[in-house]
Amino acid sequence: MNHLIPAWVDGALTPVDKLEVHRRGLRHKAVSVFVLSGGKVLIQQRAMDKYHTPGLWANTCCTHPLWDEDPADCAVRRLEEELGITGLFPAHRDQVEYRADVGGGLIEHEVVEIFVANAPADLKVEPNPDEVMAVRWVDFYDLAAAVQRRPERYTPWLQIYLRDHMDAIFGALVRA
């Protein structure tokens, strides 16, 4: 399902069809969420019907905000839509920008608001099969090592987050 997302065209923020944004590699707004429990990170394997990077492992959830949607509201909405997670209110951690080829002639050039939420050990997760084919809790250090060993199994943005922005996203976990 395509929808209009905020993208910069000729220097102005404009609503543009999501697929067109990625075909043209336009710089656009995005939101990424990391749910943590202790030293573990909840990651998801993208559904095989996703229009790019199907079957790859990614952070807890990521999306594009709707036009005029507050990024924090978007983070809460997508946790529920993708994973059935309610009752968490992620805290804003950082803003990062990256550009990555995601295959099929599509480019992600995102200005991403990064959010982190701490979850109880008994967090209820009910993945939406249209979005997610699997989830798992992974030790933070094991995830970082796995992405270095087998990057082809992980989305380009997760690789970038772990390579370039670990301290900003994970804070105390990195320094522990």
Q: Which residues are catalytic?
A: 62, 110
Q: Strand, helix or coil at 140?
A: helix
CA-CA distance, 161 to 138, in Å (whole number)? 16
- Angle (CA) 79-37-135 rounded to 5° is 50
b/e per residue 120-136 (b: at least 16 CB within 10 A): eeebebebeeebbbebe
